[in-house]
């Protein structure tokens, strides 16, 4: 019943796991943080215990409902030389779009089953989304550390409901990456340091979104024209040949976004930025941050020529 309602609300996949301490993930997270793989993302070191045990976020929690929401799109910029932004940021900010769906699902559960205590999460709290999605049988963690679903690839947002509802658990699925190393080989900044290991402080998404200071000069010429985020490891993943375009109108790009030429991006004013990205996740980097990224790409172009 929960799965059927989740699908009606637009979620492609829904799975259940026990709300418990993530024993396997604890040493990995500790090692990742100790080696400063999070760079300046200080918030990643906060609430360590809550990241590993959902019962500290929702007292009395018994189940984690994991859900996937498709954002794959075939939309492309008309100018092949225009700076690139990650597909997830084309439309409206996914936090707001998906949270409303989660709240509807939570309300439905309460109406159908009775009083249920729980909270909804979509990438905005100390929750290890991918670990729970894996435990809920929604896919496996690929060598690029993204979740891969055998039926639909990896172009998904992950969300959760942590509640005191007891549900039959779904087990994890097999890892189907095999000998493939396409994501590792394609990473422009060598951020995938080994299979299943990513140095977040070397990722283009980190540099263009999280880093508030100047982008290190040694990264010049290595951004492959990415101005906000990076999709390279997903673009080359063979499993994404099974992905299909989303059907969420709110994720469609602003009508003017894909028409922008390279010079339009370089000449972007704060007013244009506000009109294009007022409801987009791109607003997180702010106008000054995006201009810094664009200037870095320009400098890289000049240096390479």
Co-location of 23 and 133 in the same domain = yes
- In 3D space, the residue among 214, 218, 210, 260 whose CA is nearest the CA of residue 90 turns out to be 260
Q: What integer is the mean pLDDT of 79-104? A: 96
pLDDT value of position 255: 85
256 falls within a domain: yes
All residues at 6 or more sequence positions from 94 whose CB lies less than 8 Å from its CB, including other chains:
69, 71, 88, 122, 123, 157, 251, 281
pLDDT mean across residues, the chain: 93
Q: Is 163 exposed, middle or buried (0-12, 13-18, 19+ CB in 10 A)?
A: buried
Say what the pLDDT of residue 162 is: 97
pLDDT score for 42? 67
Q: Are residues 205 and 154 in the same domain?
A: no
Q: Which residues pair with 139 in a beta bridge?
A: none
* Interval 206-225: pLDDT, tens: 999 999 999 999 999 999 99
Has 301 been annotated as catalytic?
no
Q: Is residue 145 assigned to a domain? A: yes
Instruction: Please indicate, yes or no, whether residues 46 and 140 belong to a single structural domain of this protein.
Output: yes
Same domain, 199 and 270: yes
pLDDT, position 176: 98
pLDDT of residue 268: 96
On whether both 150 and 293 belong to a single domain, the answer is: no
Residues 6 or more apart in contact with residue 280 via CB below 8 angstroms: 89, 90, 91, 92, 93, 254
Query: Domain check: are 144 and 22 in the same one?
Result: yes
pLDDT of residue 128: 93
Provide the token pair at 106: 């939570």
Chain segment 187-209, per-residue pLDDT in tens: 999 999 999 999 999 999 999 99
Terminal CA-CA length for the chain: 59
Summarize the confidence of residues 163-184 as an average pLDDT: 97
Binned at pLDDT 50, 70 and 90, residue 292 comes out as: very high
Residue 144 in any domain: the answer is yes
Instruction: Tell me, yes or no, whether 191 and 126 share the same domain.
Output: no
Residue 299 banded pLDDT, cuts 50, 70, 90: confident
> What is the per-residue pLDDT for 304?
57
| Percentage of the chain exceeding pLDDT 70 | 96
CA 191 from chain center: how many Å? 16
Q: State whether residue 54 is helix, strand or coil.
A: helix
Segments forming the whole domain that contains residue 32: 2-74+87-163
pLDDT at 110: 95
134-148, 187-201, 291-305: segment of lowest average pLDDT: 291-305
- Predicted pLDDT at 40: 72
Distances 77 to 17, 82, 146, 150, 260 between C-alpha atoms, Å: 40, 7, 25, 28, 7
Candidates 123, 122, 91; CA nearest to 105 is 122
> Number of C-alpha atoms within 13 angstroms, CB side, residue 154?
24
- pLDDT tens digit sequence for 104-137: 999 999 999 999 999 999 987 889 999 999 999 9
Q: How many domains does the chain have?
A: 2
Indicate whether 7 and 156 sit together in one domain.
yes
In the set 123, 164, 224, 264, the catalytic residue is: 123
138 and 26, same structural domain? yes
Domain termination residue (choose one: 128, 163, 198): 163
User: What local confidence, expressed as pLDDT, does residue 19 receive?
Assistant: 97
Q: For 17-66, what is each residue's pLDDT tens digit?
A: 999 999 988 888 888 778 777 767 666 766 688 889 999 999 999 999 99
Of the candidates 179, 280, 293, 182, the one whose C-alpha atom is nearest the C-alpha of residue 235 is: 182
Burial class (CB in 10 A: 0-12, 13-18, 19+), 303: exposed
């Amino acid at each position: 019943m929960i799965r059927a309602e989740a699908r009606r609300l637009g979620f492609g996949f829904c799975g259940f796991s026990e709300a418990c301490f993530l024993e396997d993930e604890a040493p990995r997270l500790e090692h990742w943080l100790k080696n400063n793989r999070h760079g300046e993302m200080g918030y990643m070191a906060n609430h360590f215990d809550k990241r590993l045990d959902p019962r500290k976020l929702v007292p009395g929690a018994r189940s984690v409902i994991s859900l996937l929401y498709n954002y794959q799109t075939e939309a492309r910029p008309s100018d092949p030389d225009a700076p690139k932004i990650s597909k997830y940021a084309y439309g409206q900010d996914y936090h707001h779009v998906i949270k409303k769906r989660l709240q509807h699902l939570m309300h439905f559960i309460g109406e159908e089953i009775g009083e249920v205590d729980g909270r909804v999460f979509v990438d905005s709290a100390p929750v290890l989304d991918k670990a729970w999605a894996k435990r809920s049988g929604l896919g496996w963690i690929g060598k690029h550390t993204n979740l891969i679903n055998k039926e639909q690839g990896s172009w998904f947002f992950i969300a959760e409901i942590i509640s005191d509802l007891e549900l039959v658990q779904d087990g994890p699925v097999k890892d189907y990456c095999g000998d493939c190393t396409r994501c590792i080989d394609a990473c422009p900044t060598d951020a995938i340091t080994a299979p299943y290991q990513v140095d977040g402080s070397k990722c283009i998404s980190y540099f263009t979104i999280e880093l508030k200071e100047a982008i290190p000069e040694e990264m010049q010429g290595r951004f492959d024209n990415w101005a906000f985020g990076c999709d390279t490891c997903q673009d080359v993943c063979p499993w994404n040949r099974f992905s299909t375009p989303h059907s969420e109108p709110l994720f469609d790009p602003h009508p003017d976004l894909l028409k922008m030429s390279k010079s339009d991006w370089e000449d972007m004013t704060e007013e244009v930025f506000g009109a294009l990205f007022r409801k987009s996740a791109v607003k997180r980097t702010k106008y000054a941050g995006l201009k810094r990224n664009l200037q870095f790409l320009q400098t890289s172009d000049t240096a390479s020529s």
